């Protein structure tokens, strides 16, 4: 980086919040999976929106590209400085304002971690509508920038549906701030919605006004077993329509469950050993057990439903679902593809998948059936690389096979009317695949918007609309 730029950045945030020593910047230069490793020319840690704005103005004037980083828990490389960019790390923007219980909203800094927001809302008698596995690390700013999803989308929607207002610094350093959080406010274009999911390419989100949802204390968690994916999908439509209080609707298949349970699989209850399994959660103010039972008795199940009794059993059922990632990881690094498929096509898509996976590779599919979101994991293809010395994990080996498998799976997704990215975004990982599901006209519109809000093309330049 230009020493003059560095000096200016130090003047803004203070000496100790500009890191240039490679030992210090290394941790900001790689994603947690180790797949994306770059090299930050500097890491800047602002503590306020005004500081972020000053940083962006310096970068804009110097045409110095920057990458915005929150919890760095993404899976597509969207917060990694692959081309030596300056990393603007927002962890210090961690102010959590008091909950506005009348509006059921809260204003938070971009650097607030999800688990803290959950706790904050809970103490006020409310809840936050998005939850996901990385809750202890991921930040609200990053979740907005990537329009994060997770396990409760079927009820509350993705991050975009939670964002009532945003404060952000655009690519020219101007600050747009609209945090009144009014549910109805038709006074111009929806900048908040546009910035949500823009993966740091249009503006640096510094604060947000979020809606909160009721805290439901009565829950039913159950496992339903079906003869095949088609039967599970059919039941999911019925459950979504008849259960207004449906909180989660997760699909697991026998290979994944067997992998998670290991030797315990043979003795597991019948519902868990069905070919296709739904993990269903209903949450309400009043005990939803009867409503749930009356809906379930009309389903064509392959086994007696397994209903959790008490929070411990509930946690055990969820552990099977959340244990998939770790169990898959034990087979060596997988090829992970996060995709959407229209619900009506899911059974056909899952049936067609094995044909596009190489002989000898493993295939584990699971996901958020309520949203048509599948996580496709191809195992046994990548070499397992030991993580030596406890440092950041190494880069996975480049492998033409990986590219071709990714391409074949995504081609199948698109052939079934699906999307190549459901909740993880495009990042760096899928830039080359974007044309598979977006037309030249749409990409031209994206680029026009990019140039409108980031005229010097300094924000996350390798991401999403790279090459603008």
Element (H, E) at 169: strand 163-170
DSSP state of 419: B
Q: Is 176 exposed, middle or buried (0-12, 13-18, 19+ CB in 10 A)?
A: middle
CB of 217 to its own copies, least distance (A): 12
Which distant-in-sequence residues (6+ apart) come within 8 Å of 410 by Cβ?
337, 339, 420, 433, 436
Rounded CA gap, 140 and 228, in Å?
38
CB of 162 to its own copies, least distance (A): 12
CB of 411 to its own copies, least distance (A): 15
Nearer to its own copies, 301 or 369 (CB): 369
Tokens of 1: 């980086």
Nearer to its own copies, 327 or 374 (CB): 374
CB of 73 to its own copies, least distance (A): 15
Among 2, 39, 4, 44, CA closest to 23: 39
CB of 292 to its own copies, least distance (A): 12
For 195, list phi and psi in degrees, rounded to 5. -70, -30
Nearer to its own copies, 104 or 259 (CB): 104
Nearer to its own copies, 404 or 435 (CB): 435
Rounded CA gap, 468 and 461, in Å?
8
**Locus of tokens 């010395």:** 389
Nearer to its own copies, 81 or 171 (CB): 171
Element (H, E) at 292: helix 289-296
CB of 440 to its own copies, least distance (A): 9
Rounded CA gap, 45 and 70, in Å?
11
Start-to-end CA span in the chain (Å): 23
Question: To 5 degrees, how large is the angle CA 345–CA 351–CA 357?
Answer: 120
Q: Say how far residue 155 (Cα) sits from the centre of its chain.
A: 16
Nearer to its own copies, 126 or 277 (CB): 126
CB of 185 to its own copies, least distance (A): 4
Nearer to its own copies, 19 or 339 (CB): 339
């Amino acid at each position: 980086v230009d020493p003059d730029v560095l000096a200016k950045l130090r003047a803004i945030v203070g000496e100790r919040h500009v890191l240039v020593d490679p030992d210090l910047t290394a941790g900001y230069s790689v994603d947690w999976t180790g797949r994306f490793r770059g090299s930050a020319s500097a890491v800047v840690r602002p503590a306020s929106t005004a500081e972020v704005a000053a940083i962006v103005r310096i970068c804009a004037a110097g045409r110095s590209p920057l990458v915005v980083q929150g919890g760095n828990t993404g899976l597509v490389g969207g917060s990694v400085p692959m081309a030596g960019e300056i990393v603007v790390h927002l962890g210090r923007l961690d102010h959590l304002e008091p909950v506005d219980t009348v509006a059921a909203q809260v204003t938070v800094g971009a650097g607030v971690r999800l688990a803290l927001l959950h706790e904050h809302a809970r103490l006020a008698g409310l809840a936050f509508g998005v939850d996901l596995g990385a809750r202890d690390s991921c930040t609200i700013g990053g979740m907005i920038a990537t329009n994060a999803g997770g396990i409760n989308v079927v009820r509350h929607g993705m991050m975009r549906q939670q964002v009532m207002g945003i404060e952000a610094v655009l690519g020219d350093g101007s600050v747009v701030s609209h945090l009144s959080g009014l549910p109805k406010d038709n006074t111009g274009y929806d900048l908040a919605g546009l910035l949500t999911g823009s993966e740091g390419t249009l503006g640096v989100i510094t604060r947000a006004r979020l809606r909160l949802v009721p805290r439901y204390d009565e829950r039913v968690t159950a496992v339903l077993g079906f003869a095949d994916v088609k039967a599970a999908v059919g039941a999911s439509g019925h459950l979504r329509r008849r259960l207004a209080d449906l909180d989660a609707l997760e699909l697991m298949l026998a290979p994944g469950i067997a992998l998670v349970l290991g030797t315990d699989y043979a003795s597991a209850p019948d519902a868990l050993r069905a070919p296709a399994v739904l993990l269903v959660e209903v949450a309400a103010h009043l005990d939803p057990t009867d409503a749930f039972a009356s809906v379930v008795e009309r389903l064509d199940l392959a086994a007696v439903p397994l209903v959790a009794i008490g929070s411990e059993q509930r946690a055990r059922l969820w552990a099977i679902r959340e244990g998939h990632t770790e169990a898959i990881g034990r087979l060596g690094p997988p090829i992970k593809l996060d995709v959407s498929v229209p619900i009506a096509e899911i059974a056909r898509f899952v049936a067609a998948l094995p044909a596009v996976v190489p002989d000898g590779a493993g295939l584990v599919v699971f996901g958020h059936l309520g949203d048509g979101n599948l996580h496709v994991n191809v195992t046994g293809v990548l070499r397992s690389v030991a993580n030596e010395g406890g440092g950041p994990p190494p880069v996975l080996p480049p492998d033409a096979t990986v590219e071709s498998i990714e391409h074949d799976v995504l081609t199948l997704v698109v052939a079934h009317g699906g999307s190549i990215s459901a909740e993880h975004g495009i990042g760096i990982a899928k830039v080359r695949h974007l044309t598979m599901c977006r037309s030249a006209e749409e990409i031209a519109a994206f680029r026009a918007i990019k140039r409108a809000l980031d005229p010097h093309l300094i924000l996350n330049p390798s991401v999403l609309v790279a090459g603008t």
